[in-house]
Structure 1
Amino acid sequence: MKKLMLLMAAALPLLATAQDDLVKKLDNNKSDSAKKAFTFTKVIDLGTTSVKNQASSGTCWSYSTNSFVESEMIRMGKTPVQLSQIFTAHCVYKDKAVSYVRMHGDFSWGDGGECHDVINMYQKYGAMPQEVYTGLNYGTSKNKFGEMQAVLKGMLDAIVKNPNGKLTSSWNKAFNAVLDAYLGPIPETFTWKGKEYTPRTFADQVVGINPADYVEISSFTDMPYYKKSLLMVQDNWAMQKVYNVKMDDITTIIDNALKNGYTVAWATDVSEKYFSWKNGVAFVPEKDWEDMEEADQKALFNGPKTERKITPEMRQKAFENYETTDDHGMHIVGMAKDQTGKEYYIVKNSWGEKNDYKGYIYVSKAYVQYKTTAFLLHKNAIPSNLRSKMNIEVNG
């Protein structure tokens, strides 16, 4: 997912600051009284690891879905491991470069990815603990990918210009050497808690999830329901298909997952004025921001509001006219109610703890129905009637 397409579109060098710009932009949607005005009571609060900070990198997809995998370890009765998000990103950039060159550069490049990329890289390459592979190989204490991505993009564009008349056998080695220089080479073996592993054996023996158990879902009116269709967003560089369900099924599936102990990796749009990171609240007001009176805008987060009724047509239109873009990935870990009894999802973010809820945000079901671009979860978490429609076999 891209953090915010409107902020990133101007030029590649903005990749370095796009994440920071987005957080600053969303921090402006705040009210000093917001936390006092909303009273949230947790109904479901599932196990998760600590909040992380992706810093100046567009790796939300890796942070959120690796957090999801960590919660899967908890659900399975395992001691969770803080997984290396940048190991996954390193693997994606290596594979994405091959696709970029094969497509003669007519392909999305950048930090972005999708929930399924974490599962795909886990299946192909394995996993590593964060303490073994931080990806901080370029003199900073936090991710700062702007220079790296500008160099990698320039290198790939020079390669696809094909100045020799045909590609050499060295371009891929050269690209990977630059990637290693910035993020650090991935060790073939490493020692963790006194035992030697490869990324493959660590994934199989310690993490222990089965990649075949996870499915990705979205909802579009122009695709057949309960079938797989291509996820038409820029960062789906793997050209992966997802299950297409009806809009109401989105929250039905997520509710069923949470009630049965499963968390959810969630891709969404966060560019709306009614997504407030500082306040830790997101919902869909009855009126669009530009149609509100100034007083209503200022009072947007001074307590629960009546929400707009979301329809499949409204959702589709927002996606088609770029109101809904594939901005960000987060991790749904529970459910809460406000003082009026309205339900919200408890969502873990990867922007550190500098908001009113120490890294978490409460998101209404209407927002999730309206702004979800895709979500990923264990197939057993899907209600049986929907699994049947999707021809998904459940594990015993």
Structure 2
Amino acid sequence: MSQLHVLLPNKYNKKEMDTRKNLSLHNNLLSQVSLPNKSLDSMYLFNKQVKPRGTVTNQHSSGRCWLFAGLNMMRHSFVQKHNLPSTFEFSQNYMFFWDKFERVNYFIHLYQTTKDKEELDSRLTQFLLKEPLGDGGQWQMFVNLVEKYGVVPKSVYPDTTHSKNSAGLNMVLTKKLREYCRNIRLNDFNLERALEETYELLVQFLGKPPNEFNWEYKDKDGRYRVVYDCHPLTFYQDKVPISLSDYVSITNDPRNSYNQNYGVKHLGNVVEGKEVKYMNLNMERVHELVKKSIDSNEPVWFGSDVGQFLHSKSNIMDKHVFDMESYLGISFGLNKRERIDYGESLMTHAMVISGYNEDRYGKINRWDIENSWGSKGPNAGYYTMSDEWMKEYVYQIVVHKNHLNDAEKKLWDEPISKRFPPWDPMGALAKL
């Protein structure tokens, strides 16, 4: 044994430690012993909220947050226009079905176009094969689906066991995709047969999606209504009072220059759909745009690193909801850029911002968040995000282009200036 191994334990054992604190941590979770002893009731109060307020939805054991957030954002104006109860939901399963179908086609197309340029053991090929099909997605991928397939009410096409718990479906489709890739390399592949097989598998797991339907419902006043012979695409075009193509995806990525448009290579779901595109702005401007949207009674789709300083029992995201640093006698020294660079943080979850609270000086101190993890918790499933947490862990928002200034509108119309590799953190939300 080296002299170093003999001396180090004795050296550090001489340091005085708080035995009671050690015993507390030995027998309890860090999140429990570092939780400040103070009332959190005021964290659920907001002086500006989007109306009407919807009942919180539930994605269950699936990674469909981006679809839920998109549909939750859409339903606000739809519920308002049609005088619907707060419990109305669009069918998340319908979007999920067509995303899986399109995602298989997109992946096959991608593999076909790269196989002659990439060896089987190349980083790109192995990255693609490692997880060819997940549940995650990006805003533009959501738009691509809605503009191709439309939407339907959840009462028309409800969830199934496998849309609520997608592991089994993903396992089967992943096995088939890897088999298709093998066949592509052997020049023994038939795309039409593969897509037909995929469709049949999806019907078995998720049910057959409607091509036409009648929508029967009761409005907010309890009056029976019916709309006959609806087609999903025309239902979106005629009944939903917003156009998703009018919305702009904005990131706060401090690693890269602001006032530039960025993308991620090989990130998408619909072959003929629009490319995922981000306009990178500083956090102060992101903050302003979110406030503008809420002031216009428009909820905001956003992507963040939800696991950071999340107290799930209280539904609160706040850097000070835990006092870990004081308790442990350490500090966490990475800034927002460094957390991305060193693998400490990335986008993991999409939700909707639906309100904010201003203090007596007119400064926003917290935001009202519509999540998709069910209605449990002290605020019926709604979460609270502190303003400090927002600035550190929110990476993407989606707002109507009307809120942009002239320079930003012009920038958004310009092409992408740089595309990140597919494993870049800015593509992480689509890989979950």
- TM-score normalised to structure 1 length: 0.77
In the TM superposition, what whole-angstrom CA distance separates every residue of 1:66-108 from its partner, at most 9, and x where no partner exists?
A: 0001123356x44355211121121111111112222336534
1:155 aligns with 2:179: no
Distance apart, 1:284 and its partner CA: 2.5
Distance apart, 1:56 and its partner CA: 0.8
Count of residue pairs the alignment pairs up: 348
- 1:110 corresponding residue in structure 2: 134
Equivalence map 1:295-334=2 (5 Å): 314-334=335-355
- 1:364 corresponding residue in structure 2: 386
Distance apart, 1:116 and its partner CA: 2.6
CA contact (8 A) 1:351 1:359 kept: yes
SS of match in other structure, 2:183? coil
| Distance 1:158-1:388 versus aligned 2 partners, 3 A rule | closer
Equivalence map 1:178-327=2 (5 Å): 178-193=201-216, 194=226, 195-231=228-264, 240-272=276-308, 274-285=309-320, 289=324, 291-294=325-328, 314-327=335-348
CA contact (8 A) 1:213 1:379 kept: yes
CA contact (8 A) 2:36 2:321 kept: no
Give the partner amino acid of 1:84: S
SS of match in other structure, 1:51? coil
Give the partner amino acid of 2:199: N
**Greater shift in the superposed pair: 32-41 or 260-269:** 32-41
CA contact (8 A) 2:43 2:366 kept: no
- 2:411 corresponding residue in structure 1: 390
How much is the aligned-residue C-alpha RMSD, in angstroms? Answer: 3.4
Give the partner amino acid of 2:253: F
What is the rounded CA distance, in whole Å, between the counterparts of 1:344 and 1:217 in structure 2? 20
Q: Percent identity?
A: 20
| Distance 1:29-1:196 versus aligned 2 partners, 3 A rule | farther
- 1:300 corresponding residue in structure 2: none
SS of match in other structure, 2:253? coil
What is the rounded CA distance, in whole Å, between the counterparts of 2:340 and 2:241 in structure 1? 36
CA contact (8 A) 1:115 1:329 kept: no
| Distance 1:229-1:27 versus aligned 2 partners, 3 A rule | same
Distance apart, 1:135 and its partner CA: 3.4
SS of match in other structure, 1:332? strand
1:354 aligns with 2:373: no
Distance apart, 1:225 and its partner CA: 2.6
What is the rounded CA distance, in whole Å, between the counterparts of 1:42 and 1:209 in structure 2? 26
- 2:108 corresponding residue in structure 1: 101
SS of match in other structure, 1:293? helix
Distance apart, 1:389 and its partner CA: 6.0
Give the partner amino acid of 2:147: Q
SS of match in other structure, 2:258? coil
What is the rounded CA distance, in whole Å, between the counterparts of 2:30 and 2:189 in structure 1? 44
What is the rounded CA distance, in whole Å, between the counterparts of 1:147 and 1:333 in structure 2? 34
| Distance 1:367-1:160 versus aligned 2 partners, 3 A rule | same
**Greater shift in the superposed pair: 280-289 or 78-87:** 280-289
In the TM superposition, what whole-angstrom CA distance separates every residue of 1:193-226 from its partner, at most 9, and x where no partner exists?
A: 3311111121112223212211111022344433
Give the partner amino acid of 2:181: V
Distance apart, 1:384 and its partner CA: 3.0
1:50 aligns with 2:55: yes
Give the partner amino acid of 1:92: D
What is the rounded CA distance, in whole Å, between the counterparts of 1:217 and 1:189 in structure 2? 35
| Distance 1:96-1:339 versus aligned 2 partners, 3 A rule | same
What is the rounded CA distance, in whole Å, between the counterparts of 2:102 and 2:36 in structure 1? 45
- TM-score normalised to structure 2 length: 0.71
CA contact (8 A) 1:40 1:337 kept: no
SS of match in other structure, 1:221? coil
Distance apart, 1:327 and its partner CA: 0.9
What is the rounded CA distance, in whole Å, between the counterparts of 2:91 and 2:30 in structure 1? 27
- 1:10 corresponding residue in structure 2: none
Larger radius of gyration: 2
What is the rounded CA distance, in whole Å, between the counterparts of 1:243 and 1:28 in structure 2? 39
SS of match in other structure, 2:102? helix
What is the rounded CA distance, in whole Å, between the counterparts of 1:28 and 1:120 in structure 2? 43
CA contact (8 A) 1:35 1:356 kept: no
Distance apart, 1:255 and its partner CA: 1.1
1:174 aligns with 2:197: yes
CA contact (8 A) 2:318 2:386 kept: yes
SS of match in other structure, 2:350? strand
Distance apart, 1:28 and its partner CA: 6.8
SS of match in other structure, 2:368? strand
- 1:126 corresponding residue in structure 2: 150
Distance apart, 1:376 and its partner CA: 1.3
**Contiguous gaps of at least 5 residues in structure 1:** 1-24, 298-307
SS of match in other structure, 2:351? strand
CA contact (8 A) 2:106 2:268 kept: no
- 2:115 corresponding residue in structure 1: none
Distance apart, 1:287 and its partner CA: 9.8
Distance apart, 1:237 and its partner CA: 5.4
What is the rounded CA distance, in whole Å, between the counterparts of 2:33 and 2:198 in structure 1? 41
What is the rounded CA distance, in whole Å, between the counterparts of 2:147 and 2:251 in structure 1? 22
SS of match in other structure, 1:58? coil
CA contact (8 A) 2:45 2:357 kept: yes
What is the rounded CA distance, in whole Å, between the counterparts of 1:379 and 1:295 in structure 2? 46
What is the rounded CA distance, in whole Å, between the counterparts of 1:101 and 1:27 in structure 2? 44
